[in-house]
Structure 1
Amino acid sequence: MPTGGRKTTSVNLGEVLEGLLEAGVDFILVGGLAAVIQGAPVTTMDVDVVHSRSHENIAKLLGFLKSVDAVQRRLDDKVIEPKELDLLGKGHVLLTTRLGPLDVLAVIEGGRSYEDLLDYTVEIEFRGHTLRVLDLKTLIEIKKSSTDPKEKQRLPVLRETLRQLEEEYGREEDKEDSDN
């Protein structure tokens, strides 16, 4: 897909996440990478985040996007850099960066925003930062309502990963209870 003549030289999704965290951007990791980080054996090629749409956060996000040469992914060769109004709206901003693809989402299925999703996140330590990730149970609920066949195909894998996590953590809690 053309992106205005700018090509991603490599894909390093970890660096995308680390850059967002170092810039102080408030976001929740959603999508395939959120599942991978929680142990799901699925493949993903981009970073999907739901961001806080406060003016202060948008300023931080724009600073990060400029630092990674972000441009909107398009079918033509027109180069469009993300603007504040793009990120304040309720739509999706699909970007190509020098580190890899980044999808910045104002809301996800059901119109759920950053603030709506905060209670459904887990915090994971990532390269010295705390990363907010949409929990697997909520991710499964969202994928169930998706019309994308690819998302439907992932559901059994996500459900099995959740089952295994619940089984593992349930055993750890049982062990802690018996130790007390």
Structure 2
Amino acid sequence: MMNPELYLRHLHLKNRGQRPESNRVMNEFIDSFSTEEEKDTWVDEFLKSGEYGHQINYDLYVRLVFPVLLKRYRRQERESMLWLAKTIHNIGRNLSLFEEVGKGKYGFLLEAYTLLPDEETRQKLLGSLCGDLDYAQHEWPAGILIGSNGATFEECEEYLKDVVFARTLDDGDEREFLDTFEARVKSYMERL
């Protein structure tokens, strides 16, 4: 049976700066779970508490939180998609986790929005997409990027499709940004 005292001990040790010992206790805590139901219940309560800050403890995420979210994601549970998007920094710290899900924040938000469009997810999806587009143009006027490389003509065409989709999500706040980005992509395409 799960031992919540171990989690509290981990927090105490962590706050005292005793990292190796706190990590050992964290792993004992994770090992104390005996059923999937215990894991599900604890992960739900933990995520909803918001007590983890910007990133969840590495071992806790990899060994407990991510497996629960992944199981639910594979069942197409919308809430798990939103939690995976929210905890994307943890996924980004571990290449094998990213390879397992094969997408980033935008991909999870898009799936959640497709299942059930709502205002909050629309705003997060638009924000994520505009953030990605903004990164793509951050070297302008030198070029438009995909990752850390210059975008190909075909990748620029995909960016233009992203702009069209972003406009369907936008209530007008991002119009100027999208117009500028679209003009830059078209200008860059003329140079290719």
TM-score tier after normalising by the smaller chain length: 0.3 to 0.5
The structure carrying a bigger helix percent of its residues is 2
Highest Rg: 1 or 2?
Answer: 2
Normalization by structure 2: what TM-score? 0.32
Q: Which has the higher contact order (CA 8 A, sep 6+)?
A: 1
Normalization by structure 1: what TM-score? 0.34
The structure carrying a bigger strand percent of its residues is 1
